Chain A
Amino acid sequence: MRLRRIRFLPARAIAGGALPWVIGTMVFLCALATGFAFAMNNAVGQWADQLSQQVSVQIVTVDEQAREEQASAAIQLLNDLPGISLASRVSTEDSVKLLEPWLGAGNVTADLPIPILIDVAIAPDHHIDLDALTAQVRTVAPNATLDDHERWLDRLNMLTKTLQSVALLVVVLILGATAAIAAFGTRAGLASHRASIEIMHLMGATDDLIAGEFRYRFMLQGLKGGSFGLLAGLFILILLRHFASRLGSGLVPTLDISLAGWLSLIALPGFAAFLTLLAAHLTVRRELARMP
């Protein structure tokens, strides 16, 4: 591709005024999909980080005395183990609160053998072997069960990956549609400027020189539409982030987007411009190849 450019097309919109709007809409949708994918990734990453540093121990036995003894022994053992920063018992009140959604408030009587819960915080940069830890804990608390939330995390990861794949598919489809629209636009442009193209061709302009003008014009339209689309997308994402943060933590992801996410978003108009440029180039070259 040569960079030399000769203006031979009219200054007015090359494929009607609609192209930048369509590209803008496409980039807007892409920005939302990309923003959500990165926000989701970030939120899940934060949850996973928190959960992977925690293990829950439950002491489940109907014998209250045995339950208490085993819990004390387990807490003592766990606090003495290297790699564990703190093992603490979840108070009975908190345990009752955790059961409230299922059993209702005030219905939990002292007779009900509520399992004792122990929160175990793993020291930063440490990884524990759950089977080994379970075996160790069971030497002092035979009725203990340990859960490192792995199954739940696995499901969460699978859900995140599925959502991200869907977002990626949406982005790819939108960008494909953008390229197709640019190709249609180029064809319309070629049809309406056929006389100009033919005369340029007959005066000895190379295919690349002719295509260059189309490339330039479509790239500008892609950039123009893409920038507006990105601005609209960013506005919506920032607005949603503001509302999500106001709702309070824990309920919904806070729509925090990583640096890579922001860079991907900012790159969208450039990518849309490149796609329209490429589609225009290929379409013009294919049409020109039909001329002698």
Chain B
Amino acid sequence: MRYGMGAEVLQDISFTLDPGSFHFLTGPSGAGKTSLLKLLYLAHRPSRGLVTMFGDDVTSAPRSALPRLRRRIGVVFQEYRLLDHMSAIDNVAMPLRIAGGADEAKIREHVEELLIWVGLKDRMHARPPTLSGGEKQRVAIARAVIAKPDLLLADEPTGNVDPDMARRLMHLFVELNKLGTTTVVATHDLELVEEMGGAVMQLSAGGLTHSPAGEGQIRNPHRPHKGLTP
């Protein structure tokens, strides 16, 4: 892909994510992890090559076809990207409201349940500017998973939370993955990768190396591990 008139990034990369698999995306800063995620969450189209998602070729699909695909993808952005003037509850409810179809009472009930689960029971009505980094991250994660997406993409999702919360959040990803959500977690935290198991996609200047270790089978994140023990 290419940003504007700049040089091409992510050349000669080819991989397939099996439905329901769990992957870590690692690599040094600047290797293109975020760019690869952008391709996957359809914020960019490739300048050449082919991206197929849920059976559709998104490289040449008309713009009008993309919103439907985007609704099947949950994204945890590195910089959260929450709507600052809205409460946590309204931020998390947004994907369900965009999808339409559900009544507002059910949406709120569902969102409140998830926010309680991520430890934000008392912060539901707070707006993002009043939340700590960790709280914002949990709101962003809750927003990404609320609609039970087919593909979950998380860019450094545990970077700002304490190890205990990191485990809880990873557990959430694993539970979602067990329900069939294909999950890609971009992270620098190699200890977390080692603890969790799962396939690893290593991005580097040379391209993408897809490690089959674990073949997408993820281990229980609640197992005590030195890197995640408080």
Contact of B63 with A196 in the complex, beta carbons under 8 Å: no
Contact of A204 with B44 in the complex, beta carbons under 8 Å: no
Contact of A204 with B95 in the complex, beta carbons under 8 Å: yes
Max count, chain B CB within 10 A of own CB: residue among A198, A206, A207, A289: A206
Contact residues of B between 72 and 110, Cβ < 8 Å to A:
72-73, 75, 81-83, 85-86, 94-95, 97-100
A residues near B67, Cβ cutoff 8 Å: 204-206
Contact of A205 with B98 in the complex, beta carbons under 8 Å: yes
A202-B83 contact given A6-B98, A292-B45, A292-B63, CB 8 Å threshold: no
Distance of B109 from chain A, by nearest CB (Å): 19
Closest to A289 in B: B63
Contact of B86 with A8 in the complex, beta carbons under 8 Å: yes
A155 in contact (CB, < 8 A) = no
1/0 contact trace for A1-20 toward B, CB 8 Å?
Answer: 00010101111000000000
Main secondary structure of the interface of A (DSSP, over half): loop
In-complex Cβ contact of B66 among A195, A200, A289, A292 (8 A): A292
Question: What bracket does the count of chain B residues touching chain A fall in?
Answer: 20 to 34
Question: What bracket does the count of chain A residues touching chain B fall in?
Answer: 20 to 34
Contact of A8 with B44 in the complex, beta carbons under 8 Å: no
A199 in contact (CB, < 8 A) = yes
A209 in contact (CB, < 8 A) = yes
1/0 contact trace for A194-227 toward B, CB 8 Å?
Answer: 0110111111111101000000000000000000
B residues near A9, Cβ cutoff 8 Å: 85
Chain A residues proximal to chain B, CB less than 8 Å: 4, 6, 8-11, 195-196, 198-207, 209, 289, 292
Chain B residues proximal to chain A, CB less than 8 Å: 41-45, 63-64, 66-73, 75, 81-83, 85-86, 94-95, 97-100
* 7 closest A-B pairs by CB: A204-B71, A204-B70, A10-B85, A204-B67, A206-B67, A205-B98, A199-B81
Task: Show 18 A/B contacts (Cβ-Cβ < 8 Å), sorted by A.
Answer: A8-B94, A9-B85, A198-B81, A199-B83, A200-B94, A202-B42, A202-B43, A202-B70, A202-B75, A203-B70, A204-B72, A204-B73, A206-B67, A289-B63, A292-B42, A292-B43, A292-B44, A292-B63
